[in-house]
Structure 1
Amino acid sequence: MSQQLINHNTDIHTLQNEGYEVEIKGGYICIHHIPYVNFEKEIKYGTLFSPYQTVPGSDVIAKPSDHVMHFIGEKPCHTDGKPILAIEYQNRQILSKDFIADFSFSNKPKNAFENFYDKFTSYIRVISYEAISLDETGTVTAKTFKPVIITESETPFVYLDSNSSRARIDFLNEKLTGMKIAIIGLGGTGSYILDLVSKTPVSQIHLFDSDTFESHNAFRFPGAASVDDLTGRIQKVEYLSGIYSKMHRGIVPHCEIISKLNISELDNMDFVFICIDRNDARNLITKYLLSKEIPFIDAGLGVNIQNEKLVGATRISYNQQVGSEYNEVAENQYNSNIQIAELNMFNATQAVIKWKQHYGFYNGQLNQASSHFIIEKSKIFHDEN
C-alpha cells in the first residue's frame, strides 16, 4: 500500500478533499468520526468501513462489489431514539482482528454504486442527517479534514488478499498468520500443497527437495512450465520458489533432502508436510517430529494398473509415526511411479484441509489419525486414534 493508491483514485481523493477522516488498512477503506444518534438521543461518533479490491496489476480501486456497509458504534437512530430501519441488515460480525462490525447496513441504490465516494456519502447522509438535525451548536460534522491514514499491515503477500476481505474471512486466515511451514518432497503432491499454502498468510514456507525439475514433473505440477523452464536444468525448489515468490514473500528453497545430518532444520517449524516415497526417510522424519512435538501430515499416493484401468488410493496420516527403518518399496502400497495430476491435487487438498482443521480454520474431528480415498470405490475412509 502506498500514496499511489490515493493518487490513482479520484473517489478517495474526493473524500479526502471534502474533509472526511479516511483510513485505508488491511483491505478496507474506513471513514471515522461519523456522527449519529443513539437510543438515548445522544450524538455519538462511529466508523463506517467497506472492503475493497484493486484492478489487477494496478493501484486503481475497482468498483464496490456490493452495497453493504459495516459500522463500528451503537445502533444509529432517528432523532426520537428509534432505530433507522431502512438500513438495518445484520448485527455483530467479525471480519478480521482489526475489523469487528457492530452492525452491517444494507441500503441498496437504484443503480449499483459506481465508486466508494458514492457508497460512503450515501450512508453518511442517512446516518449523520439525524445527528445534525439534533445538534444545536452547529459543530456536528463528519468532516474533520484530517489527513488520509494508510496503515501498512505486515503481510507475507506481494499484493493484497482482497479475496479474503471480500469473503469476510480475514479473521479465519489470521489463525494461520506468522507460521513457519516445511514441505518435504516437492513432487506432484508437495507442489500442490505449496500452491495451496502459498495462498495463506503463513510467514515462511520452506521447501526441501534435491531433485532437478524435469518434464515428468511438469505434467504433475500446478500451472504450465515452458520449454525454457525445463531446458534450464534447475532444481525443483528453485523453479517453484521463482513461481510462488511472485505472490508470497516467504518462500525459502532448500536444495537438499532431510537426513540425520540436517533434520534439526525442522526444529523451528510450526507444521510439516511430508510428501516423499522412501519408507526409511518417512520413519526417520515422523519419529523425530513426534519427539519434538511438531505437528505434521504425511501424504501418500499409490496407483496401479488392473484390468486396463487404474486403481489405488491416496492417504494422509496425521501426527502418527509412518514408515519403517528400511525402504521397503515392494511392500509399500503408497509407493508407485504412476502419478496423476488430479490425484496429486486431491491428496494435497486432503492434507491442507486437515492442516487447517488442526488450527481451527475448518471445523473437524482432530482424532482422525488417517484418511484414505479409494479410487475404485470413490469413498474416503478414516482411522481414528
Structure 2
Amino acid sequence: MSRALFSRNADLAKLREEGYFVQVIGGFLVVREIPYVDADRKVRRGTLISSLALAGDVTCPPDTHVIHFDGDYPCSAHGEPIRAIANQTMHFDLGHGLTAEHAFSSKPDGDYRDYHHKMTTYASIIAGPAAVLDATATPRPYRALKDEEEADSVFSYIETASDRVGIGGLTARLAGQRIAIVGLGGSGSYILDLLAKTPVAEIRLFDDDVFLQHNAFRAPGAPSLDELREAPLKVDHFKAIYSRMHRGITAVPKAITPETLDLLDGIDFAFLSMDAGEAKAALVQRLCERGVAFIDIGMGLELGDEGLSGILRVTTSTPMSRGSGSRIPLAGGGAGDLYASNIQVADLNALNAVLAVIKWKKLRGFYCDLEREHHSTYTLDGSMLLNEDQS
C-alpha cells in the first residue's frame, strides 16, 4: 500500500525524492530525523507526524494544519522556544507505535496545498535554527528505505478514520482477535458490517442459508435484482461485499450443530445471532468449556393494535462472568417465549447489532465501561434501556 501511495501521489513522491525520511504508518504521514535545537542549545532529532487524508490511494489536501512532533520542544538558536507554532504539549499515544509530545499549529494563507507543502514548511521552521548551530544538520538525510507494503494490515486500503481524530491507540485495542458470527440474518449481517471496519484478525461467518429477497430488506446494503436471482449463500454474498474492505473474512457455509463445533476452533470471541435449540445449547456449552467470551442477541416483537412492540436483548458471557448465561434462551419456548417471535425489521436488527458491538468494544477497552453490565434490554415502547448483571 505504501509503495502505491508514493508512486501515485506527486506530493509524497517529491518528499522522498528530496531526501526526507518519510513513511506512511497507519493513517499517518511520518517524517523522521528532523533536526532541532533543544533548550540547552543542543542539536537533536525528532519526528513530524501528520494525519493523512486519502481518497482511496490518492492524497487529498491536508484536512488540518496541525501536526504532531515527537521530541523536546524545538527552540531558536539561542535556546528560546519557538512560540509561533505552539498549540498543545502533552503525551499523545497515536497508535501504530507512534507517540508525540507536542502538537504544533502554523497555518499559511490559503492553507496547505498538499503534504509536501505541509511537511516541508514545518521541517523548515523546526530545523532552521539547528542549521545555524550545525551546518550539517539537515532534515533531508537521504536515507535508503525499504518500501512498506503494509502486508500485515487486515484492510485493503489504509484506515484513516481513527488516526485523523486521534483514537488510533484505542482502535489498536480491537486488533488481533479472531471473531465468529454465528448466523447471518438481519442482526448478524449488521454485526459484520460494523466488525469489518475494525482491525480484528479474522471474521469467521457461519450460516448455511441462501440470501433471498426477504433478506435484502433487513440487511445492510442494496443488492441488485440480478444478484438476488443468483440466490447466493449468505456467507458468500456478504464475504464478497466486505472482503473489498477487510482481508480477514472467512466464509463457512455450514450451520453450527453439535457435530460441527470444531469449525469454531481458534476463535477468541463469538457473536451468536441464531435461534434457540439443541445446536445453540451445544454451542454455548462448547464456548464456556473453551473459555471463549461471547455475546448472544435476540429480539421479540409482537403486532398489536397500536403497531409493533417488543424488546431487544444483548447478553454477554465471559470466563470471568458467566452468570448471565441463564438469560440466554436455549430451547424453543413457543408462544410464551418473549424471544420466539420471528418478526424482524431492519432498523431494530441494526440497533440490536450496534448494542452488541458496543458491548464488545467495552470489553476490549475501546469504550469506558464502569458499570460492566452483562445483560441489557431495550424496550421499544418508551425507548427504555435497562442494564443488569454488573460484574
Partner of residue 384, structure 1: 389
Partner of residue 237, structure 1: 235
Q: Confirm or deny that 1:102 pairs with 2:94.
A: no
Runs of 4+ in 1 over 6 A off after TM superposition: none
Q: Confirm or deny that 1:335 pairs with 2:334.
A: no
Partner of residue 83, structure 2: 85
How far did 1:2 drift?
A: 4.5
Cα distance in 1 for residues equivalent to 2:209 and 2:223? 16
Partner of residue 367, structure 1: 372
How far did 1:66 drift?
A: 0.5
Alignment of 1:136-151 (within 5 A): 138-151=135-148
Amino acid at match of 1:338: I
Cα–Cα, structure 1 residues 373 and 326, in superposed 2: closer, same or farther, change >3 Å?
Answer: closer
Cα distance in 1 for residues equivalent to 2:328 and 2:3? 54
Which structure 1 segments of 5+ residues have no match? none
Deviation by residue 1:85-133 (Cα, 9 ceiling, x = unmatched): 1111122211113211121111122211010111011111211121112
How far did 1:148 drift?
A: 4.9
Q: TM-score, normalised by structure 1?
A: 0.94
Q: Confirm or deny that 1:50 pairs with 2:50.
A: yes
Q: Confirm or deny that 1:189 pairs with 2:187.
A: yes
How far did 1:324 drift?
A: 5.5
Cα distance in 1 for residues equivalent to 2:226 and 2:291? 42
Amino acid at match of 1:264: D
Q: Number of matched residues?
A: 381
Q: TM-score, normalised by structure 2?
A: 0.93
Cα distance in 2 for residues equivalent to 1:139 and 1:122? 19
Deviation by residue 1:13-42 (Cα, 9 ceiling, x = unmatched): 322232222222222222222111101111
Cα distance in 2 for residues equivalent to 1:127 and 1:169? 26
Deviation by residue 1:127-175 (Cα, 9 ceiling, x = unmatched): 112111223xx21211222245532331111111111221222211211
Partner-residue secondary structure (3-state), 2:153: coil
Partner of residue 16, structure 2: 16
Partner of residue 159, structure 1: 157
Question: What is the alpha-carbon root mean square deviation over aligned residues?
Answer: 1.7
Deviation by residue 1:257-311 (Cα, 9 ceiling, x = unmatched): 1111111322311110001122443332222212221000000011111224110
Deviation by residue 1:312-350 (Cα, 9 ceiling, x = unmatched): 011000103254563223232112221110000000000
Deviation by residue 1:186-216 (Cα, 9 ceiling, x = unmatched): 1000000000001001111111111111111
Partner-residue secondary structure (3-state), 1:109: coil
Amino acid at match of 1:278: A
Amino acid at match of 1:112: D
Alignment of 1:1-385 (within 5 A): 1-56=1-56, 59-90=57-88, 91-135=90-134, 138-153=135-150, 154-319=152-317, 320-321=324-325, 322-323=327-328, 326-365=331-370, 367-385=372-390
Query: After the TM superposition, which of the residue ranges 168-177 and 342-351 deviates more from structure 2?
Result: 168-177
Which structure 2 segments of 5+ residues have no match? 318-323
Cα distance in 1 for residues equivalent to 2:200 and 2:359? 16
Q: Is the 8 A contact 1:358 1:366 kept in 2?
A: no
Amino acid at match of 2:198: T
Cα distance in 2 for residues equivalent to 1:279 and 1:381? 26
Cα distance in 2 for residues equivalent to 1:355 and 1:2? 31
Amino acid at match of 1:192: Y
Q: Is the 8 A contact 2:3 2:148 kept in 1?
A: no
Cα distance in 2 for residues equivalent to 1:182 and 1:126? 50
Q: Is the 8 A contact 2:19 2:142 kept in 1?
A: yes
Partner-residue secondary structure (3-state), 2:360: helix
Identity among equivalent pairs (%): 38
Cα distance in 2 for residues equivalent to 1:22 and 1:175? 26
Cα distance in 1 for residues equivalent to 2:330 and 2:198? 35
Partner-residue secondary structure (3-state), 2:103: strand
Query: After the TM superposition, which of the residue ranges 347-356 and 161-170 deviates more from structure 2?
Result: 161-170
Cα distance in 2 for residues equivalent to 1:325 and 1:373? 20
How far did 1:246 drift?
A: 1.0
Amino acid at match of 2:77: T
Partner of residue 321, structure 2: none
Partner-residue secondary structure (3-state), 1:277: coil
Cα distance in 2 for residues equivalent to 1:95 and 1:324? 42
Q: Is the 8 A contact 1:210 1:257 kept in 2?
A: yes
Partner-residue secondary structure (3-state), 2:286: helix
How far did 1:7 drift?
A: 2.4
Cα distance in 1 for residues equivalent to 2:371 and 2:147? 40
Amino acid at match of 1:201: P
Cα distance in 1 for residues equivalent to 2:278 and 2:386? 25
Cα distance in 2 for residues equivalent to 1:323 and 1:284? 13
Cα distance in 1 for residues equivalent to 2:389 and 2:329? 21
Amino acid at match of 2:21: E
Amino acid at match of 2:193: D
